[in-house]
A and B are shown apart, each in its own frame.
Chain A
Amino acid sequence: MIRLRWIALIAIGLMLAACAHNFAGVAPNPIGPAPDFALTDENGQPFKLSDLRGKWILLAYGYTHCPDVCPLTLAHLRDVKKAIDPTGDKVQVVFATIDPERDTTDIMRQYVGHFDQPFTQKFKGLSGTPQEIAQAAKAYNVKYEKKESTSAGGYSMSHTAEVYLIDPQFNWRMTFPFGVKAEEIAADLQYLMQHPEAK
């Protein structure tokens, strides 16, 4: 009888350990190497995502003429960085455009510069040729299309608005759907930093 009680306790303990953290993000199944891509950074320098191996990477795609959704995503990533790694260089935010027609290197520098002001480690703002951007988007199953509009602001871009998390071993660890809060991303990231083996 006593043995049965122990078994029950151990089982409960194991269950608690297994659900110690509820992830807001979705882990790829199976977890594997992060796809690499090559673009141009906000200073006009060639950039490969794998250059950031050794850091936790938060990667998002969007466009700077997006006044509603994209600033929210970037503000969330700024808040995650502020919460977890405000003075360090362990967490790198990367924002890649899907609107090469309007988003030049110069515009990308201004755009990410608005969000990375509090940090010494600056955000990466990536642009490139339409072909390069198509490849970089395809690598993470990002879908986008140009939408002509009657708006005075010109065309808009429809796009998936997820955030991707890549670990220092350059494995793709998590995808956060649009609408996930900064606190939730920060909690998942913090947990994974402490339990790199967790899924």
Chain B
Amino acid sequence: MKRLVIVSVVLMLVVIGAACSGSNGTTGGITLSDAWVRSPVIIDQSGAAYLVIQNHGAADKLQSVTSDAAQTIELHESMESGGMMSMAPVPNIPIPANGRIELKPGGFHMMLMGLTRPLKTGDKVQLTLNFEKAGKIPVTAEVKEQ
């Protein structure tokens, strides 16, 4: 009886663990979390997506992103120089060894261009991030207002 209880508790923990990590992509040393997409202000314009990349392994690079929600996804960086904010596409986003990179407003972000469907607050968007070493890692992003 005691064994049965232990087995069920362990099983429950495994199930809960699996459920919780459902929206977080993990492959090798890279963990993706807190992915979200800002709903485009004007319906046919681009959306921006953000997330946290945690690297527990060797240095890597985020090279590209794909999704069925957008025809093209570009990696962009907003930066400040001489008091002006500007934005430019970048070829990749370097992920330092054992480091953490946060894609956030005013910094690195993913630009979803040519949206294939309107994105409404609460919608879920599947993104696949392609890393130089870790390969493809899927993640689910939620559409948020801000």
* Chain A residues proximal to chain B, CB less than 8 Å: 64-69, 71-72, 74-75, 107, 110-111, 114-115, 143-145, 147, 149-153, 156-161, 178-179
Contact of B87 (CB < 8 Å), options: A69, A71, A111, A152: A69
Name the segment of B13-21, B25-33, B34-42, B128-136 touching the other chain. Answer: B34-42
How many residues in B have their beta carbons less than 8 Å from beta carbons of A?
28
B92 to chain A, nearest CB (A): 14
Please determine whether A68 and B41 come into contact, CB atoms closer than 8 angstroms.
Answer: no
C-alpha gap A122/B109 in the complex (Å): 30
Q: In the complex, are the beta carbons of B84 and A156 less than 8 A apart?
A: no
Bitwise, B101-119 to A at CB < 8 A (1) or not (0) is: 0000110010101100000
Q: How far is the CB of B33 from chain A (nearest CB, A)?
A: 20
In this complex, what residue of A is CB-closest to B91?
A: A150
Nearest Cβ on chain B to A67's Cβ, whole angstroms: 4
CB distance from B106 to the nearest CB of A (A): 6
Contact partner of B109 (CB less than 8 A), chosen from A68, A110, A115, A150, is A68
A75 with B74: in contact, given A69-B105, A143-B84, A159-B84 (CB under 8 Å)? no
DSSP majority for the B interface? strand
How far is it, in angstroms, between the C-alpha of A19 and the C-alpha of B83 when the chains are bound? 28
- Do A68 and B78 have beta carbons less than 8 Å apart? yes
Give A159 to B84 CA distance when docked, in angstroms. Answer: 5
Interface status of B8 (Cβ within 8 A of chain A):
no
Residue on B with the closest CB to A150? B89
> Which residue, of B48, B74, B89, B146, has the highest number of chain A Cβ atoms within 10 A?
B146
Within the complex, the shortest CB–CB distance from B36 to chain A, in Å, comes to 13
B41, B48, B146: most-surrounded residue (chain A CB, <10 A): B41
Q: Which residue of A lies closest to B112 (CB)?
A: A67
* Complex interface: chain A residues within 8 A of B98 (CB): none
Chain A residues, CB < 8 A from B146: 71-72, 75
Is A179 in contact with B83, judged by CB distance below 8 angstroms?
no
Complexed CA–CA distance, A160 and B80 (Å): 9
Sample of 17 A–B contacts (CB below 8 Å): A64-B41, A64-B45, A65-B46, A66-B87, A68-B78, A68-B109, A71-B41, A71-B105, A72-B146, A74-B41, A75-B146, A110-B41, A114-B41, A151-B89, A151-B113, A152-B114, A158-B87
Cβ of B42: which chain A residues have Cβ within 8 Å of it? Answer: 64, 107, 110-111, 114
Interface set, chain B 71-103, CB cutoff 8 A to A = 72, 74, 76, 78, 80, 83-89
